[in-house]
Chains A and B, each alone.
Chain A
Amino acid sequence: MQMVENDAADLIPISFIDGEYFAFDIEAVKRLRNDHHVAGILVGTLPQVPQQSTFLGLPVQLMPEEAALLVQKGVARIIDEGSRHEAMLAVDENDIDEATAKLKINEVESAGSESQGQLVSFTTPALSTVNRVALPESSVGAVYDTPRFDVYKYLHERGYFILPGLRFGSQFLAYPGDPLRYHSHYLVRGLGYGEEFSLLELVGSGRLGTGVKKAWMVGGHVPEDEQHKLATLNSSKTIEREGSEPIEDFVSFCVEWAGFG
């Protein structure tokens, strides 16, 4: 389970805590955003301006699909923060020596904090220095092969930034550029190939999307036996694109409300 620190040093660490994925390292956040167009959601309080929720701080929360894709692409690894910090946090319930602990804390506080005239200031670091405990790729394996993951991957490979879809009642929102600067274009819904969905969902999502100047996008991964059928149907198209994408393995549609009559 433990990976050699040197081999993995250039992998982006993603913290796994209580079933959720986070990035605590500002360098990781920069790399995710700049190099891999993964923005995530800031969920922490910004210490400089703590009494507001417009501008938030670290950590950045990632969706399981994001963590899984980054691991699959070999650019990130999942760190199990629970077992990593276990030894440091551990306590013997029957032998709690609070007096000694207090003494040690006093020492640390008087030595470690910087003095600014009369006032002493105390700083909490964002990151721990304990050795990291990495989880194998199989820890995110359950996310692969879900319709959510398929559509996430499809859009991510085409350069979109993808955020959770709660604001507009879809699975994801897809942005053509960094969500800091650009509006989203699609309300995204991933489906299994051949999976049925309600016409009312099409109407509801289609109209909602158009109403907020976006489109509703629905798509699914094409299973292998179907891929060949599609390939024969679209043979002319496939040949044109030869080299990059020999076989189409994903179908997607966008719904916009045309408003005829």
Chain B
Amino acid sequence: MDDLDNDYDEVPVTPGQGEQENAESDDEQQDWRMLAAIGSKKSLPKRGEKEYEPTGSASDRNNLDESRQAMYTALNGERQHTSKVHISGIWYPHLRKAKVLVARGPHFKSIGKADSSGVIWLLPEEVIYLVERGSMSLYNARGDAKISLQACYAACLGACQGQERYLVYAYLKRLGFIVQRATTFDESGEERIVQKPDSCRIQRIWKFLVQKFDSFCTGLRLAIARKIPSFGPIICGGLWRSYDSIYKELQIIPFYSHRGSDLTPKSTVAPFRVAYNVWKPRPSFKKSNPGEPDFRVVVVNAQKDKMPTPAQTGALFSTLPVFHDSTSTSQQRLREGYKNVIIGVVDYGIISFITLGDVSFGDEHIYDRHAASRLSKHHTTKKRQA
């Protein structure tokens, strides 16, 4: 156990990609016989091959028995930690939180919240996660009973606001990500756009004025040309210095732009609210000042929830900040969108991730030779397997 204790804060042994490729290519292909190899090596074993169907042969039977035995042995492993990294706490059901008594080890860099007197409190999902991996001893409020894994689930799961949320939380934590509840985790939480509103408003007003001035100039130019028939060519007369300006005049079909979309956050209704903010693992991470999250995650239940309607998607996007990346290419913007959010879909323990992006197709001028720097509109939500 001792060598494993040192691995706690380690970034995952496999990067997410390989894992997902496998998961997508077919159903899970774990071969538990290969798990024994993990202890000594730093990389996960390759997944095993599966057969088409039972043949009834002795080797078939033997393989199955070995796989099952390896799995049962692994499942029987103890949840254990040493005093060097000891964490203990008391679960207070009425507060739906656990008070930490002893806090050793690296977990608290990204987990828990200290109150004004310096006592660290853990949220229910943090408690289950720590107990489940054997890192924490949890006691009841009277201090007379140690809480088993079973009792820990019974006590904390209801306070996680849905088991699907806990599963997504634990999945991301296991892969090494830093995960915190978003302000919209609770039904009553406020939506909040994290970007600075002032600079943004000035920017918006400026862009609005530029646009107005631009259309005024065009109007003026056409008026001067004195050829504005209600039918006939769209482009006529006037002075045209580049093809770009002509193409721009030809752009007469209205389209969606994220710039025109509502900038005041609308109210969202569960489940289509951001549940968790997620950061990539980094040594400089501070709980008190985490900075902008790398990902935002919404959690839905495959059995109870449907795909979000355009109204729900719109409301969700209105609560998200716009990415400002001047170096991104047109292709990147079409892929990632100006805003995006990850949806974790859970079906009785099986998790899939989907990214929803707010993409402005019309803003990417294919006639523009310097496509890297420009703007404008069409609404589409883009799905891809995360």
Contact = CB atoms under 8 A, between A and B. Distances in A.
Interface of A: 15, 17-20, 22, 24, 26, 29-30, 33-34, 40-55, 57-59, 61-63, 81-82, 84-85, 88-91, 93, 96-98, 100-105, 108-109, 112-113, 116, 119-128, 130, 163-167, 173, 176-185, 212
A-B pairs with lowest CB-CB distance, top 5: A101-B143, A41-B349, A166-B347, A91-B141, A104-B143
Interface string B31-63: 110010011000010010011111000001001
Given A15-B153, A88-B145, A91-B92, A181 B67 contact: yes
Contacts of A62: 348
Given A57-B132, A103-B143, A166-B347, A121 B75 contact: no
Contacts of B13: 49, 51-52
A81 B153 contact: yes
B174 A53 contact: yes
Contacts of A85: 151, 154-155
B4 A122 contact: no
A226 B99 CA distance: 61
B207 interface: no
B90 interface: yes
B51 A120 contact: no
Given A166-B302, A166-B347, 16 more contacts: A15-B150, A17-B154, A17-B157, A20-B163, A40-B349, A44-B132, A49-B13, A81-B150, A85-B154, A88-B140, A91-B140, A120-B83, A127-B148, A166-B350, A176-B54, A182-B52
Interface of B: 1-2, 4, 7-8, 10-14, 19, 23, 26-28, 30-32, 35, 38-39, 44, 47, 50-54, 60, 63-64, 67-68, 71-72, 74-84, 86, 88, 90-94, 99, 101, 129, 131-155, 157-158, 162-163, 167, 170-171, 174-176, 302, 345-350, 352
Contacts, number: 280
Contact of B91 (A34, A89, A96, A184): A89
Contacts of A48: 4, 38-39, 74, 77
Given A101-B139, A104-B144, A26 B75 contact: yes
Which of B23, B27, B67, B72 gathers the greatest number of chain A CB atoms within 10 Å? Answer: B27
